[in-house]
A and B are shown apart, each in its own frame.
Chain A
Amino acid sequence: MYSVNVVARISNVLVMDRRKFLKQSSLASSLFFVPSFVKAFEQVASNTLGYKRLVIIQLSGGNDGLNTVIPFHNDLYYRARPSLSVSKNETIKLTDEVGLHPSLMPLKRLYENGNLSIINNVGYPNPVRSHFRSMDIWQTATDSDKFSQIGWLGRYLDNYAKHPYAAIEIDDSLSLALKGNNMNGIATQNPSVLYNMSKDPYFNNIIKHQNEAHLNEHNLGYLYKSMIEAHSSAKYIYETSKTVSSTQDYPDTKFGKQLKTTAQFINSGIDTKVFYASLGGFDTHVNQLNTQKRLLKIYAESVEVFVDDLKKNQAFDDTLILTFSEFGRRVKQNANVGTDHGTSNNVFVIGNKLKNPGLFNKMPNLSDLDDNGDLRFEIDFRTIYATVLDKWLEVNDAKVLNKSFSKLNFI
């Protein structure tokens, strides 16, 4: 007779062996359960996914789009913002009517090279003017009256990723956007610290003894899953990226460092499809001019170095950079030389394979505002997501967004 203890140990060993086997043979699961034509398709799909990468930059707090891409010929703009507008002389001209904020000279250069698409009037129906709700809406890609705990990139991971590190947020904590139902993305600012913290044999032994089938979706199961994912990912990310260091001179800011780490990851050939970085502080209710000037400068300078870094390593062709903010701001300035929360905003797409570089669509119509004095949206942000998923990441966008959206013609 075996004692319970021994039986448990033996069954652990058996379970481990099966898991090891499944892991070692990456096709094993499809070999067993999936018809061969589907398997063939999967193989093709994973090959064509290749090195295409998506970098998302989130400007948190609600960047004032109207002072970012400026209609310097429009009297309504100057009338709404007597002490907050950017004068015609100061703007960096793109066309006879449209200019960029003076901090955005680096973007002008990208624009001239055909590496920048500006999509105006991006928003969603029934806009919510709360940061947190609006950010959640952008990150979950759900309708504005629906709540979800699953991010849109989390659903991408759930459906298409083999490892959590298919999506990495370069930060200390993970945003809702990268949280899936079965799989979360990885958050890390410093892969070597993460790896060193995780590599104690005690943890490896605990993980070896786990049987994933026993881990439920409640909090404790979630903790174990997070532990298992973090440990395997930390090792992979560290070992893959440690060989590459960037020689480029990035601005010495948290955001600059985020993009530097991102470039390091990309240039190391890491098997990651999506990177997520963010720059905060755009909630400019008071004294907007200086704050926005400083933040846009950090943004634009860092992005330019990042693009150069990718170019030097022949990685720019396969990288698409998407910049958004949770909402724009009210057209009319407030009493404190600032602006209150608004609705639609512009989105920047940066890449080397743009179909329609430059101004993708018309500037907002300042003579047709909603009841709150806010801009009306023209393009649902989810059509941008759908386009990126479909044409760039080459996956079924409707599966990720739980809904089919029309595609745009920017890539």
Chain B
Amino acid sequence: MRRSEIQHLYWRAGFGISPVTIESLRHLKRKVVVNKLFDDSASVTLLTVDTSEIQSILNLGEKLSSDNRRKIQELSRKKSIELNQAWINRLVTSKEMLREKMTLFWANVFVCEDNNTIYIQRYNNMLRKYALGNFGEFVKAVSKEAAMTKYLNTKQNRKQKPNENFARELMELFTLGEGHYTEQDIKESARAFTGYSHNLKGDFVFRKFQHDNGNKTFFGKTGIFKGDDIIDIILEQRQCAQFICEKIYSYFVHDRINQNHVKSMVKVFYRDYDIEKLMRFVMLSDWFYNQDHMGSKIKSPIEFLVGLQKVVPVTFKNKRQLMFIQKQLGQVLLDPPNVAGWKGGKNWIDSNTIVIRLKLPSLILNDAFISKSEDNQFSNEASEMIRSAFKKRVSKQFKTDVNWDAFEKQFKNVSIEDLSEFILCCDLQPETSEYLKKLDKISKKEYCIQLMSLPEYQMC
């Protein structure tokens, strides 16, 4: 496989790739490299933080006192930050890279949040488990998760007074897309999901006395449908496969959809809704590696942050700072803006976020310093003096441990002239390239910071 193709594959299936790993894959065929990605993700490693304190309150009994409810919320506020960090750390370090990338993708399809860390951790691991599995089973599992029955009010959906929230979002956002169902379909299917609830532990409970056992007419079929039946009928609609394939295409391939490519995906997916088969098909397709697709997407804040840490490993000493960065960039894991999730693409970028993205690499990795000495203006010693004077003026804003040794090791065999091809996924804007040529290449490290402080670094 060509270097650029490997890099492209690893940016879509994960968060980039080191020069050393590229070297180990170069002589292999596409099929072998893709197979390896799936083999690495065959296992499922659950993501857990210690929630025993919350658990012990839940173990007390059936009804929560308002005092305990408050305690759970307080504990969860702390724990959800831990879970957030654990997830980011997982994305940086996991061997199950593709599974983790898919989990991140699905978390923005089946959007959910909850103020109880135990429920949201369960939910997150459910996404991980089904990330490459069967889509139909996946949707059914989603509908029965405690966090989801809370988030979209299925818990309050009762025979006498149905609550339409889940039924509507199930079709609008999870499976079919707006305009592919009627208001009547929503009303009827809401009745099928009546009685859905959970116990304190977070296990699904079907409250049959609150369930509407009557006939429902949904997509032209009439029967005594339950929730799972509704999902089965939705899966019969080719539009469901179309809807999901479009989402996968714009996330993993290109944000402008090519209907011919999607059509070939739907043909594969509609057969049995096997997510792994679909993803293999996509990553083995020639069009996946089209020149236009490479480096064409704007990184999400998480792709940006995780990708950066894969090039230069960073430990944040103050965990709140990692939360703060996510917030400023517009994507806090486990805290979606609403049930439609993050819009992505150009929507990540506005005046605020572009300024932060350009400044962040130097802030985190280099005490806010970006070298700009031109034409051998200064000797190495002089540049070092300028740099340390700068460091003194700018108070250290982020408390980080930066592992430049790991960087030097990974990039040992990459010449400074070639560095941009490994750090960036797209070509440099010609004018920027000219400007960079004028700058002294003091070291790989300083050049890396310069490259990471460019609009080009936002692309993947």
Contacts and interface: CB of A to CB of B under 8 A. Distances in A.
Interface of A: 5, 8-9, 12, 128-133, 145, 164, 172-174, 184, 186-189, 194, 197-198, 200-203, 205-206, 209-211, 214-215, 218-220, 222-224, 226-227, 229-231, 233-234, 285-286, 334-336, 340, 372
19 contacts: A12-B431, A130-B168, A164-B351, A187-B351, A187-B352, A188-B351, A198-B355, A205-B435, A220-B459, A223-B455, A224-B455, A230-B352, A230-B355, A234-B355, A286-B153, A335-B161, A336-B153, A336-B156, A336-B163
A18 B371 CA distance: 29
Contacts of A215: 429
A214 B427 CA distance: 14
Contact of A130 (B156, B178, B368): B178
Interface in B348-381: 349-356, 358-359, 362, 368, 370-372
Contacts of A164: 351
Nearest to A280: B338
Contacts of B179: 145
A231 B355 contact: yes
A202 B359 CA distance: 10
B164 interface: yes
Interface of B: 153, 156, 158, 160-161, 163-165, 168, 172, 178-179, 183, 255, 296-298, 327-328, 330, 338-340, 345-346, 349-356, 358-359, 362, 368, 370-372, 426, 429-432, 434-435, 437, 450, 453-456, 458-459
Contacts of A220: 426, 429, 455-456, 459
Contact of B168 (A129, A189, A234): A129
Contact of B350 (A173, A210, A285): A173
Contact of B351 (A132, A206, A234): A234
Contacts of A9: 434
A5 B437 contact: yes
Nearest to B150: A286
B355 A194 contact: yes
Residue from B158, B345, B355, B437 with most neighbouring chain A CB atoms (10 Å): B355
Closest 8 CB pairs of A and B: A335-B161, A174-B350, A230-B351, A223-B455, A202-B370, A132-B340, A209-B431, A226-B354
B297 A219 contact: yes
B163 A8 contact: no
B352 A219 contact: no
A55 to B, nearest CB: 19
A215 B456 CA distance: 13
B163 A334 contact: yes
Contacts of B351: 164, 174, 184, 186-188, 194, 226, 229-230, 233-234
A202 B156 contact: no
A214 B350 contact: no
Nearest to B159: A335
Given A200-B370, A226-B349, A130 B354 contact: no
A102 to B, nearest CB: 25
B152 to A, nearest CB: 9
Contacts of B459: 219-220, 223
Given A186-B351, A219-B298, A220-B456, 7 more contacts: A129-B168, A174-B350, A184-B350, A187-B351, A209-B435, A219-B255, A223-B455
Contacts of B172: 130
Contacts, number: 144
Contacts of B350: 173-174, 184, 186-187, 226, 230
Nearest to B161: A335
A272 B333 CA distance: 34
Residue from B349, B372, B453 with most neighbouring chain A CB atoms (10 Å): B349
Contact of A230 (B153, B156, B339, B354): B354
A190 to B, nearest CB: 9
A340 B165 contact: yes
A202 B153 contact: no
B27 to A, nearest CB: 32
Contact of A214 (B168, B349, B431): B431
Contact of B352 (A8, A145, A194, A209): A194
A197 B372 contact: no
A9 B165 CA distance: 60
A179 to B, nearest CB: 8
A222 B349 contact: yes
A38 to B, nearest CB: 31
Contacts of B339: 131
Contacts of A234: 351, 355
Contacts of B450: 202
Nearest to B456: A220
A174 B351 CA distance: 8
Contacts of B346: 219, 222
Contacts of A201: 372
Given A201-B372, A226-B349, A209 B434 contact: yes
B184 to A, nearest CB: 10
A215 B163 CA distance: 49
A210 to B, nearest CB: 5
Given A214-B431, A224-B429, A340-B165, A173 B353 contact: yes
Nearest to A332: B161
Given A202-B370, A229-B351, A285-B156, A218 B431 contact: no
A383 to B, nearest CB: 25
Contacts of B458: 223
A202 B453 contact: yes
A100 B406 CA distance: 64
Nearest to B346: A222
B376 to A, nearest CB: 16
B156 A335 contact: yes
Nearest to A61: B338
Contact of B160 (A226, A229, A335): A335
B349 to A, nearest CB: 5
Contacts of B153: 285-286, 336
Contacts of B354: 223, 226-227, 230
